[in-house]
Amino acid sequence: MKLTKNQISNLALLLFIGIFLFTPVGATIKIWANRIIAFSPSVVSEDKREVLTNYNWTIKDLTNNVDYNLNSAKGKVVLINFWATWCPPCIAEMPDLQKLYDEYGDKIVFLFVTNENAKTVNTFFNKNGYKLPVYQSRKKAPEILFSRSIPTTYLIDKEGKIVIEKTGAADWDSKKVKDQIDLLLSK
């Protein structure tokens, strides 16, 4: 049976889609594409900022298996990132989050929350040289921080107002983000 040009084109397209969806090559392409399209996240206008009032949320530190309660972050600037090692947009934004953490890790509270086990996270971090504070949720996060998508990242000011709420990959090492953090720290 001889294939027509149209059938060959269709087979090539199916092969490309199969590679893109089901192989590590596809994952690499997805990560690369997410890095290309990641822009600095938008700041929520002051009149539309929701306020985190329920800080009662306990998470477990994957490094020391120590509980951390969000109540201890009251009155501080906080960045919370929900992510996973298998998520291409999460992987795409992780280098920028590491740079942001390197610059502001001693000035604001960073919480990287995942549902994955410590071994998986540690393998991923060791492979990529990340040194971020990772936690697992002990109970449901406050409803205002609930999202069905990952990555989802929140930047919260000292009064509990959500200044940035971003779902999907973003450029967290941008001047815009750093200027916003500096502004929040100065208040």
Beta-ladder partners of 164: 155
The residue among 166 and 64 whose pLDDT is bigger is 166
Q: Give the pLDDT score at 6.
A: 77
Q: Which whole number is the average pLDDT over 12-32?
A: 64
Q: In this predicted model, what pLDDT tens digit does every residue of 29-80 receive, in sequence order?
A: 666 665 666 667 889 999 999 999 999 999 999 887 889 999 999 999 999 9
Percent of the chain past pLDDT 90, that is, above it, reads: 70
**pLDDT, tens only, 85-136:** 999 999 999 999 999 999 999 999 999 999 999 999 999 999 999 999 999 9
Give percent of the chain above pLDDT 70: 86
Mean pLDDT, range 6-25, rounded to an integer: 68
Query: Are the CB atoms for 55 and 64 separated by under 8 Å?
Result: no
pLDDT computed for residue 37 by the predictor: 61
| 104 vs 182: CA distance, rounded Å | 9
Mean pLDDT calculated for residue range 146-169: 95
> Which amino acid is residue 54, in one-letter code?
N
Question: In the predicted model, is pLDDT for residue 17 greater than 80?
Answer: no
